[in-house]
Amino acid sequence: LRPPLPRPAAQPHPVRRHKLRPDSTCCGGRLLLVPSLVLLYDVIGALASGMSICFFPIFFLRELRLSPVAVCAISLAASLAVVLGGGVAVALAKRLGRVPAVAVLRLGGCACFLLMTWIFQSGREYSQMASTRAEHSPEHAFGRTLVGSLFTAGSDGSDAPPEPAHSARTLLILVAYLLRTTLMNCTGGVTKSILHDLVPPDQRARYAAVDTISTGTWAGSAALGGFLIDRYGIAATFHVTAVAQAVALFPLLLAHMAGLVP
């Protein structure tokens, strides 16, 4: 009897690699399709952000009655948080992939934005009642400490502080704002790396020039945001901005699900 023939060794499962098809172009063949989807994500996100970002200082001054010093301190804290969040975005991109990491972080930012708006809306009526009661009840007033005057001075220059519940609600709004700003802006380096990997080196200047469109869209979207605020209020504008920022992820996710972007 002949010994049985050895079975062939199992072939390893082929690893699917993401390859960019060189024939996929748009804009009359001037731009590659997949990098253009990434640029479209940037442009839509910039349009959405411009509707509200320019009005955050006014929101802090008028609605939350923060002092100008407090508004500047919040802006500085947000910038530092974005720098720290960039490292978290890179670490998350190594674990989940770049596009899934961007989607998770930015959707989390949209959720924080909606949470901030909900806290503001739910407390507006109570704030009006508390302000009226504080005007007639001196025992509800805070002492004029340095910290109290820093974070409770009115935008009109008055030092009349809000109720303690209002201060707690303001703190929650500021925390949600810092989380929203960090999650939405810490992904910039990851998306830029995606764009550079997809674009040939000799065409990167062209795409960089196209990417500057997102900066110029801020003026137009800010005008739209001002119109929405005058017509429907700042809370409705925040809702529209959050939804538009979530929709901006669609071109990037479409390219990822098609296997064109890792």
Q: Which residues pair with 31 in a beta bridge?
A: 26
Least confident of 20-29, 161-170, 212-221, 251-260: 20-29
pLDDT at 168 over 90: no
Residue with tokens 């925040």: 238
Confidence of residue 178 (pLDDT cuts 50, 70, 90): very high
- In the chain, the percentage of residues whose pLDDT exceeds 70 is 67
Q: What is the pLDDT of residues 135-144, one digit of tens each?
A: 555 444 433 3
pLDDT of residue 28: 44
pTM: 0.74
Q: What is the pLDDT of residues 36-53, one digit of tens each?
A: 788 888 888 888 988 998
pLDDT of residue 142: 38
Least confident of 119-123, 146-150, 199-203: 146-150
pLDDT of residue 4: 64
Burial 181-214 (b: 16+ CB within 10 A, else e): bbbbbbbeebbeebbeebbeeeeeeebeebbeeb
pLDDT of residue 193: 86
pLDDT of residue 154: 42
Report CA-CA distances (Å) from 60 to 82, 120, 169.
Answer: 19, 11, 13
pLDDT at 222 over 50: yes
Confidence of residue 32 (pLDDT cuts 50, 70, 90): low
